Each structure stands twice: as C-alpha cells, then as structure tokens.
C-alpha cells in the first residue's frame, strides 16, 4: 500500500481515538454533548480531518482498492461540516458517532494491520 495512504489511514485512526478520548472526560450522553459547544466543535474538527484524509485516499487510490464503507459519504460529511455548518444538526453528528464511527475504526484498524510491514 502507498505510504501516503497509510499516513492518511493513521490520521483517521488518530482522529477517531481523539473523539473516543473526549468521552472519557465527558459522559457519552447526547443531552450533555448537545450542551457542550467546545466538545461539539472538537468532534466536528476531528470529523473534518477524517473526511479530508478520506478524500485524499480516494484521490490517490484511483482503483478504489481501499474498501471503506461509505467513503464518499465521509467526504460529503466533511464538506457539509465545513461549507454548510449552519445545516449540521447535533442529532446527525451524534448518530455518526454512535452508529458509524465504530465501523470505520474497525475497517481502518484492519487495513493498517494488513498493510504494515512489521505485522
């Protein structure tokens, strides 16, 4: 696998880890999340990083050999957070955190595990 793609996969993994770490200090409770502007902005920033890294992977991996569920939707979320920030709902972000981020983490972990030279 291209070293740049590996780097971007690591960036995604790091951003997911950061999001998970936010909820060690704050409870994973939607109502508390919705009230905490700083937490919401931190999560949104990490989702932007995930989306940008995914965008670079898709641009570099022309054959789409990297199999990540909803890769284009991840890029779309990044665009929406950046360009249509006033249309982002807390409920949508929360749903992504609860329903989609764990699967993305698993897929990225598997890709890294399968492509690191020291495994």
Q: Would you name the residues annotated as active-site residues?
A: 78, 83
> Cα separation of 95 and 44, whole Å?
13
Burial class (CB in 10 A: 0-12, 13-18, 19+), 104: buried
Nearest to 22 by CA among 9, 39, 36: 39
Which helix (DSSP H) or strand (DSSP E) does residue 71 occupy? Answer: helix 71-83
Spatial neighbors of 84 by CB under 8 A, at least 6 apart, are: none
Nearest to 12 by CA among 51, 62, 42: 51
């Amino acid at each position: 696998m291209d070293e740049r793609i590996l780097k971007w996969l690591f960036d995604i993994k790091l951003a997911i880890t950061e999001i998970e770490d936010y909820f060690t200090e704050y409870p994973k409770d939607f109502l508390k999340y919705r009230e905490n502007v700083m937490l919401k902005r931190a999560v949104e920033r990490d989702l932007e990083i995930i989306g940008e890294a995914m965008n670079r992977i898709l641009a570099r991996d022309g054959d789409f050999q990297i199999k990540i569920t909803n890769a284009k939707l991840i890029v779309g979320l990044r665009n929406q957070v950046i360009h249509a920030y006033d249309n982002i709902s807390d409920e949508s972000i929360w749903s992504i955190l609860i329903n989609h981020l764990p699967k993305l983490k698993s897929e990225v972990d598997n890709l890294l595990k399968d492509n690191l030279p020291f495994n």
